Amino acid sequence: MPRIPYLPADLADPAELVAAIRRRRGGDLLKLDRMLLYSPEFAAGWNALLGAVRTRLRLDARLRELAICAVARLNGAAYEFEQHAPEFLAAGGTQQQLDALDDVDAASRDEARFDARERAVLGLTRGMTRDVRPAQPEFAAAAAQFPRQELVELVGVVASYNMVSRFLVALGVHSELDEIGETDRTDAAGQAG
């Protein structure tokens, strides 16, 4: 249950912002959006930043989604993983790789499932997520695999999705598949979680 109730799925205002978010999402407002829209200014900035991160970087989509899924696992952000696992698969990742992310430490050393670039992504992601400042070997491994623009973009993806996961976990945003009666539970209790 979310810690504060989601705004309605049919939210219409602020009209321009809601329309922009719906366009980026293919027509729907996700639960994440319905939480963000409590602060329209924050939601507008979020939509612009994450829209760029998801669609306008040079970094390979499979590697971007691998980093996002690893952040989600490291931070216990099930919602984030649920949203991005299909994107990782669609970009060419495998179910075996997703399964290996249950232990990101082991996955970052797994030469059977992950190539050198993928292991570098996982090592940098682990270091940034756990320690903020990745260890020099983790950073050096990523720097050896990526040109500077893509390295900066990878660091930005990891940083951005740590922000996303922390927002989701702190506010209790959960599965899009779990739609049963949130507003009913909220109304009955007088407040959400």
pTM, full prediction = 0.89
Q: Of 27, 48, 26, whose CA–CA distance to 36 is shortest?
A: 48
Judge whether residue 192 has pLDDT over 50: no
CATH superfamily for domain 61-171? AhpD-like (1.20.1290.10)
pLDDT digits (tens, 9 = 90+) for 89-148: 999 999 999 999 999 999 999 999 999 999 999 999 999 999 999 999 999 999 999 999
User: In the prediction, which pLDDT does 181 show?
Assistant: 44
SS3 assignment, position 67 = helix
Q: Tell me the two tokens of residue 190.
A: 């007088």
Longest Cα–Cα distance in the chain: 56
Q: Where in the chain are the domains?
A: 61-171
Strands (E), the chain: none
Cα-to-chain-centroid distance, residue 21: 16
Which residues fall within 8 angstroms of residue 186, CB to CB, at 6 or more apart? Answer: 5, 192
Say if residues 142 and 156 touch (Cβ distance below 8 Å).
no
The whole-number average pLDDT for the span 83-91 is: 97
74 sits in the region (left: phi over 0; alpha: psi -120 to 50; else beta) called alpha
d(CA 82, CA 79): 5
Enter the DSSP assignment of 112. T
Say if residues 72 and 78 touch (Cβ distance below 8 Å).
yes
Q: Of 53, 72, 66, 46, whose CA–CA distance to 165 is shortest?
A: 72
